[in-house]
A and B are shown apart, each in its own frame.
Chain A
Amino acid sequence: MNDAQPQPGSRLPAFINVRALERRWRRLSVTDLVVWGIGVVLLLFVFWRIVLTFGQGAYTLESFIKNVIFGLAQGSIYALIALGYTLVYGILFMINFAHGEVFMSGTYIGFFVIAAMEESGFLAEQTLLALLIVFAVGMLSSMAVAVTLERIAYRPLRKAPRLVPLITAIGASIFLQQAFRGLFGSSTKVYPHVHLYALPQLFPQLEDGKGMDLISGKYDVQFALLGNDVNLVVQPFIFVIFIVALLMMAGLYWYVQRTKAGKAMRAVAEDKDTAALMGINVDRVIVNTFAVGAALAGAAGVLFALYTYQVTHTMGFIPGLKAFTAAVLGGIGNIPGAMFGGFALGFTESVAPGLLSIPHQLKDVVAFSMLVLILIFRPTGIFGEVLSEKKA
């Protein structure tokens, strides 16, 4: 049944693994045919809708670009959160269901700091410094929550059957959500509108010569592309989110691939017992993993709140779910997979409904259907799981 798994040690990606294809062909069963049939029908449906949409001529390049830009922001946030799921899964083989709440808690505590700084006027005076402080607080509080969670709820269950930590994580998720509601009330908190002006030399015409407002600014952009006049309202912050996310992912990649701690992390993911024999402190590596994932989530949370301007105790749920989907999409446990999955999901969600002429209300249906479609053809995600032979 698992013949779709990439061959360990193979240098080639699985989809051009001739031997695997050949073997699959020989063992083709009715089930496979039916499953593939469903996939093909879904693909044809997508194709038909796209043709239909273009046939109607209702779809403009303008809305496509708008959706792509929006998808960029959404994808960045999803990817950052998805990394937390994937890191933990890669090491512990558990779905940290409470990761959405880790994301929420950093944002929430960051809110109190930024609100206090706004009150004191510090935010207006030293905007960049204030933002850095908020990011630091958000990341640190997310890390604190995640590490506490690991210590209290997950560590004692490391040897338990797989369902047990999952239920614990679900319980922790509900508990955290409700604890924040109990502590800070159920009303929506409004994040301050931050104005960070930059590059007055390049954009002298904007904001009375103060430069571009990188965070709350919205600017009309007009240009011609492929013979179409495109009129867009562009928010520079979307690109800021994208760049920050890319920087953080690059940092993570460097951390995992180039540092000693990252090497230990990879070793533990490969084989905990052997890693322990090699003198690696497995507990500490796991705590590190949770902390790194939480830091990314905390940063994503602050970005998210600066973009949406609101914080509630339930804000972690939907992004958490989507990010989890993204992680699975890319192949859970696989770091590049999570990044890719996040962007893929973000783009699909914002571009597909318009492209397929499906009401925007149903964008989650589109997202989940894409997940099913991809898992039909690649049962372990686009990039496949990075698992050692023993665990696969």
Chain B
Amino acid sequence: MFRILRRAAFAALFALPAAAAEKVTTFTLDNGLEVVVIEDHRAPVVVQMVWYRAGAADEKPGVSGVAHFLEHLMFKGTDTVASGELSKTVAANGGSDNAFTSSDYTAYFQRIAADRLELVMRMEADRMRNLKLTEDDWRTEREVIIEERNQRTDSDPGAIFSEQRRAAQYLNHPYGTPVIGWRQEMEHLTRQDALDWYRRNYAPNNAVLVIAGDVTPDRVRDLAETYYGPLAPSPDITERVRPQEPPQLAERRLSYSDPRVSRPYVTRSYLAPERDSGAQEKGAALTILADLLGGDGQTSFLARKLQFDSKKAIYTSAGYDGSSYDDTTFNLAVVPAEGVSLAEAEKALDEAIDEFIEGGVDTEAFERVKTRIRAATIYGQDDVNRLARRYGEALTTGLTVADVQAWPDVLDAVTEADVLAAALEVFDRRRAVTGWMMLPDRAEVMQ
């Protein structure tokens, strides 16, 4: 019965346009600030995001964590706004605000009633160029980021292991340095380090403003001209050139044991190309490859082989995030079933990958992935915050608005042959890091 229904569903969905359905307007101010407006008039809510093309991978050596440290200090006030006042003002108006830092960008956002947009645009524009840092503010905040590292990384064996693996994955590129920073460098960050970073990176010609929700492009243009328009561009913004990876020729293997680990597991990451502007095809093929291998807990290839058939694993995953300025990674993980060793689990993973490449792509599974991707353009319209994030992230990782809008079509055009070609290219052990997470008393010897 369901086979018939499924075919009917395919036919219907193939009639859907794959292209992005959101209503987007873009323009650029004279000082170089790029503006993206995404309209959604269903609720009287708006979100403002400012994204800087500056993340942890743009830091100089020796001051790891400074991008994230400054993100915290950006809430400390300006000539006209007292320390902490921005967040208090947003809250007093019923809104919420926060910020996040990654390797490639630092972003700030507020979500607020649509009639309060002007208020948050005035304050966000103000701190783009007028930040003030007092002695008390920066010293206390350095303690806070160290507590954040304690909480997020040092209290979590999985996070420690992930940090070590990433450091091994990148031989030369700063993606090997954690965004939060290495502790011994964080402990010596200064007010001057933060200000140097701020002055070098925070300017309208290094930023993207995304406004999404119940607002018109004309209104945004007026407000952006009023508040962001007068800000001087920085003459120091140059093309982002980071140290690149040399040819990776030697496989790396790591093992980590920690008494706080409950279940051992195996990870494998491969250096992989990111989505490139105007050439997203390889990124699209890798996105679909990850979905086929690990996208669904019941039907993905690794789940079927390792969890259902051989029962060597209780959990498997495959992941690829192409939104990255430089080379990214394709990641696999296996949590072995009780009584299965890490060596056996790793062997089973490798055999499954070989089998996938030899056997070719299952056509029904391939069509299901495509169907889900098309439906995602419908479901995606329900969450304007996520749409806003997608544009901000793309525009600060080397992509354009046209790339974002073309992405559903690029995914839709991927063929089974493209997926296999991408798999053959990416699964090269010379560019791979294999990790074994272990309990101290159950440690195995790694080959």
Q: Do A and B bind each other?
A: no
